[in-house]
């Protein structure tokens, strides 16, 4: 006999789909089938069942080989490393739940550490722009129910957020959008003819790295002022056409992604996109939303903010919270070689940081807490495998629109494996003893 668990939350991307169904064995130990999830989400659930999974912490030896150690030894190593370090970096947090993040923050406070999440290489520049100019936004259900203009700017949900368009943005029939896709105009801005762009009513194949210019040109077009013949490779008449599409809608939304956050103008691109959204509110209702990547990077920012006051790149080394991206941000700290211990959880900087920063991890004492073997575990001194959050343990997470959803446990982790929370609690207890904190 098998059991079907419904309303399961998918712990992959910021879309945080919560309608997944999972079939498990009667004893709750085996996960057999996954329904409703996208191909990536399905893989995430199924990979937890691989027989070759690492199930115990491993410490790298002098000769480079791994030695299996107990969780107690792993927690000792981690606590000692953090206690000894002058400027440890505790990075990641985006693929774990808010309770683990909370314990991690307490550890960071005692260890006087730098704390950062994957926004550092994702939507960090968005946060800087929001601090400059604000953010008129909404929840995803608002888009489902009201939006008749949907702009995807520098993002490719067909690949990165596979169910976004079917659940929220393009296809659903909402309260005021009874005709689904037919009630919406879709515009995609991307230097490539992406699979998302292929579906659009209008694709602006922008010259790569010229988003700021095109965003400003749209603001100019909205005001009906003069434009040069072409901006960022897009003819003026096309820009005016898109400006008209935007302002003629009743409710519009701009979704944006790495195309603007990671190309050269970075936060300035997003400043311009938000300013455009603000301008559009003089004509109609318009919102803008970052397409957050990891399923709980948003949650990490929220927990950092309510506990420390800043959403990412927080430096606690002076005993109080400071924030200064470029100075207190992970890639810069590692590249400059300022970090003397690296603690990674729920992310893979080894794969997703520039190699010059990864070298900074390899040089120092390091712990990688991750269910998978990754490039980060590959360059770390200690690898602590843990239960898959959202599959083998529950906990609160925040969707890309900041809506909190409580993840579910659907299957037991392999015998004796700890969750992030359990392991972090062990580290916290040990660190408190080492530092003489009550």
Partner 1 sequence: MAEYIIRNGHVFDPVQGIKGDKKDICIKDGKIVDKVGSSAKVIDAKDKTVMAGAVEIHAHIAGPKVNLGRIYRPEDKLFSCTPTKGMERMGSGASIPTTFKTGYEYAKMGYTTAMEAAMPPLFSRHVHEEIRDTPIIDEGAFPVFGNNWFVLEYLKNHEIENTAAYMAWLLNVTKGYAVKVVNPGGTEAWGWGLNCLTVNDPVPYFDITPAEIVKGLMEANEYLGLPHSVHIHPNNLGNPGCYETTLDTLKLTEGIKAKNKFGREQVLHLTHTQFHSYGGTTWADFESKAKEVTDYVNKNKSITIDTGNVTLDETTTMTADGPFEHHLTGLNHLKWANVDVELETAAGVVPYIYSPNISVCAIQWAIGLEIPLMMKDPMRCYITTDHPNAGPFTRYPRVIKWLMSKKARDVQVDSFKHKDKVLSQTSIGSLDRELSLYELAQMTRAGPAKSLGLGSMVGGLKPGMDADIAVYNFNPEKPVANPDDIEKAFSRTAATFKSGVQVVSNGEIVSNGNKRTLWVSIKAKENAQVARDIAEKFVKYYSMTQANYEALGHHFVPNPFAIEVDATN
Partner 2 sequence: MANSISVNLISGRTIQQGVAIESGKEKPSYRTACGIIEMDPSDLKKLGAWKSTNVKVTSDYGSVVVKAVEATQGPHPGVAFIPMGPWANSVINPNTYSTGMPTFKGTPVKIEVAINEPVLLGIELVQKNCGVIVG
183 is a contact residue toward partner 1 (CB under 8 A)? no
Binders in 161-180 for partner 2, by CB under 8 A: 162
> Of 418, 437, 434, which is closest to residue 70 (Cα–Cα)?
418
397 is a contact residue toward partner 2 (CB under 8 A)? no
Please name the helix (run of DSSP H) or strand (run of DSSP E) that holds residue 358, with its range, or none: helix 355-362
55 is a contact residue toward partner 1 (CB under 8 A)? no
341 is a contact residue toward partner 2 (CB under 8 A)? no
Burial of 102 (0-12, 13-18, 19+ CB in 10 A): middle
Which of 262/307 has CB closer to partner 2?
Answer: 262
Query: Binding residue for partner 2 (CB under 8 A) from 158, 236, 305, 405?
Result: 158
Query: Binding residue for partner 1 (CB under 8 A) from 27, 86, 159, 175?
Result: 175
d(CA 309, CA 345): 21
| Residue whose pair of structure tokens reads 């809506």 in the numeric block | 403
326 is a contact residue toward partner 1 (CB under 8 A)? no
Burial of 377 (0-12, 13-18, 19+ CB in 10 A): buried
390 is a contact residue toward partner 1 (CB under 8 A)? no
4 is a contact residue toward partner 1 (CB under 8 A)? no
94 is a contact residue toward partner 2 (CB under 8 A)? no
Residues in the chain: 438
Q: Residue 280 Cβ, how far from partner 1 at the closest point, in Å?
A: 10
> Of 323, 370, 312, 315, which is closest to residue 343 (Cα–Cα)?
370
Indicate which of partner 2, partner 1, none lies near residue 124 (CB less than 5 to 8 Å, by partner kind): partner 2
State the number of binding residues for partner 1 (CB under 8 A). Answer: 66
Q: Residue 71 Cβ, how far from partner 2 at the closest point, in Å?
A: 22
- The two tokens of residue 427 are 């580290």
DSSP 67-110: EE--HHHHHHHHHHHHHH-SSEEEEE-TTS-HHHHHHHHHHHHH
Bridge-based pairing of strands 31-35 and 20-25 is: antiparallel
Which of 298/376 has CB closer to partner 1?
Answer: 298
DSSP code at position 410: -
Binders in 227-266 for partner 2, by CB under 8 A: 258-259, 261-264, 266
317 is a contact residue toward partner 2 (CB under 8 A)? no
Residue 376, sorted as left (phi over 0), alpha (psi -120 to 50) or beta, turns out to be alpha
Q: Residue 220 Cβ, how far from partner 1 at the closest point, in Å?
A: 20
Selected range binding partner 2 among 28-36, 157-165, 168-176, 406-414, rule: CB under 8 A = 157-165
Give the per-residue contact string, 399-428, with partner 1 (x = CB under 8 A; - = no).
---xxxxx----------------------
- The two tokens of residue 59 are 């410490």
Tell me if 5 sits within 8 A of 26, measured CB to CB: no
| Residue whose pair of structure tokens reads 């990674």 in the numeric block | 344
User: Is residue 246 helix, strand or coil?
Assistant: helix
d(CA 187, CA 174): 20
d(CA 113, CA 274): 33
d(CA 32, CA 411): 10
Query: Binding residue for partner 2 (CB under 8 A) from 9, 358, 387, 417?
Result: 358
383 is a contact residue toward partner 2 (CB under 8 A)? no
Q: At what angle do helices 267-280 and 124-133 cross, to 10 degrees?
A: 50
Which of 58/185 has CB closer to partner 2?
Answer: 58
105 is a contact residue toward partner 2 (CB under 8 A)? no
Indicate which of partner 2, partner 1, none lies near residue 102 (CB less than 5 to 8 Å, by partner kind): partner 1
Selected range binding partner 2 among 70-78, 324-332, 412-420, 422-430, rule: CB under 8 A = 324-332
- The two tokens of residue 392 are 């083998």
Instruction: Please give the span between the terminal C-alpha atoms of the chain, in angstroms, as a whole number.
Output: 50
Give the per-residue contact string, 184-213, with partner 2 (x = CB under 8 A; - = no).
-------xxxxx-x-------x--xx----
64 is a contact residue toward partner 2 (CB under 8 A)? yes
Q: Which residues bind partner 1 (CB under 8 A)?
A: 6-7, 9, 18-19, 98-99, 102, 106, 109-110, 127, 130-142, 144-146, 167-168, 174-176, 250-251, 278, 281, 284-285, 287, 301-303, 305-311, 316, 318-323, 395-396, 398, 402-406, 438
């Amino acid at each position: 006999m098998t059991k079907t668990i419904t309303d399961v939350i998918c712990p992959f991307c910021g879309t945080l789909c919560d309608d997944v169904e999972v079939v498990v064995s009667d004893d709750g130990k085996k996960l057999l089938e996954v329904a409703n999830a996208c191909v990536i989400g399905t893989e995430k659930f199924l990979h937890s069942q691989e027989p070759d999974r690492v199930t115990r912490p491993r410490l790298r030896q002098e000769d480079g080989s791994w030695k299996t150690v107990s969780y107690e030894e792993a927690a000792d190593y981690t606590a000692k490393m953090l206690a000894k370090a002058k400027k440890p970096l505790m990075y990641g947090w985006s693929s774990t739940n808010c309770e683990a993040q909370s314990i991690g923050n307490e550890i960071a406070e005692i260890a006087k550490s730098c704390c950062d999440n994957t926004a550092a290489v994702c939507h960090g520049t968005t946060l800087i722009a929001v601090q400059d100019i604000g953010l008129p936004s909404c929840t995803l259900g608002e888009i489902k129910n009201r939006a008749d203009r949907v702009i995807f700017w520098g993002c490719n949900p067909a690949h990165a957020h596979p169910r976004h368009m079917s659940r929220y943005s393009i296809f659903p029939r909402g309260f005021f959008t009874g005709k689904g896709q037919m009630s919406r105009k879709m515009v995609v801005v991307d230097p490539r003819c992406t699979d998302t762009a292929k579906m659009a009513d209008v694709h602006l194949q922008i010259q790569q790295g010229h988003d700021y210019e095109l965003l400003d040109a749209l603001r100019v077009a909205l005001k009906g002022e003069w434009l040069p013949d072409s901006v960022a490779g897009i003819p003026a008449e096309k820009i005016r056409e898109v400006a008209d599409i935007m302002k003629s809608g009743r409710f519009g939304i701009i979704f944006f992604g790495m195309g603007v956050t990671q190309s050269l103008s970075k936060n300035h691109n997003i400043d311009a996109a938000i300013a455009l959204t603000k301008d559009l509110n003089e004509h109609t209702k318009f919102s803008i939303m970052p397409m957050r990547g990891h399923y709980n990077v948003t949650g990490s920012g929220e927990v950092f903010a309510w506990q420390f006051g800043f959403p990412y790149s927080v430096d606690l080394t002076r005993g109080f919270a400071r924030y200064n991206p470029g100075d207190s941000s992970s890639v810069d700290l590692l590249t400059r070689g300022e970090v003397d211990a690296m603690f990674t959880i729920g992310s893979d900087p080894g794969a997703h940081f520039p190699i010059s920063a990864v070298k900074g991890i390899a040089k120092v004492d390091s712990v990688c807490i991750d269910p998978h073997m990754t490039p980060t575990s590959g360059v770390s001194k200690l690898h602590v495998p843990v239960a898959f959050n959202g599959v083998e343990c529950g906990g609160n997470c925040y969707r890309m629109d900041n809506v909190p959803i409580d993840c579910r446990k659907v299957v037991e982790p392999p015998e004796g494996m700890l969750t992030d929370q359990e392991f972090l609690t062990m580290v916290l207890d040990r660190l408190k003893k080492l530092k003489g904190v009550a």
